[in-house]
């Protein structure tokens, strides 16, 4: 279970070659405010391509409201 003051957020990495989300990771938003860019393998194009952090909400970082 996550700690109450946890600064780490779950991010999705989108491939620039095929525009699909293949990888998920976490990042500390206090230490790394910029977008994350990694060179990783793209299974669709079968090449090593740049994976960029997405802005899209993954739904995991949002806490549902209690009734």
Considering its fold, how many domains does the chain have in total? 1
Length of the chain: 67
- Residue 43 lies inside a defined structural domain of this protein: yes
- Residue 62 lies inside a defined structural domain of this protein: no
> H or E element: which one contains 46?
none
In tens, the pLDDT along 26-39 reads 888 889 889 999 99
Task: Specify the pLDDT at position 49.
Answer: 94
Using the Cα atoms of residue 37, residue 43, residue 49 and residue 54 in order, give the sign of their dihedral: negative
**Structural domain for 44, as ranges:** 8-53
- Residue 65 lies inside a defined structural domain of this protein: no
What is the CATH number for 27?
A: 2.20.28.120
Question: Do the bridges between strand 8-15 and strand 21-28 make them parallel or antiparallel, or are there none, so unpaired?
Answer: antiparallel
Task: Specify the pLDDT at position 44.
Answer: 92
pTM greater than 0.75: no
């Amino acid at each position: 279970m996550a700690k109450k003051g946890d600064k780490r957020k779950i991010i999705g990495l989108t491939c620039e070659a095929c525009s699909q989300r293949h990888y998920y990771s976490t990042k500390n938003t206090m230490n790394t405010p910029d977008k994350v860019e990694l060179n990783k393998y793209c299974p669709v194009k079968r090449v090593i391509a740049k994976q960029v952090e997405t802005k899209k909400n993954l739904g995991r970082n949002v806490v549902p409201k209690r009734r």
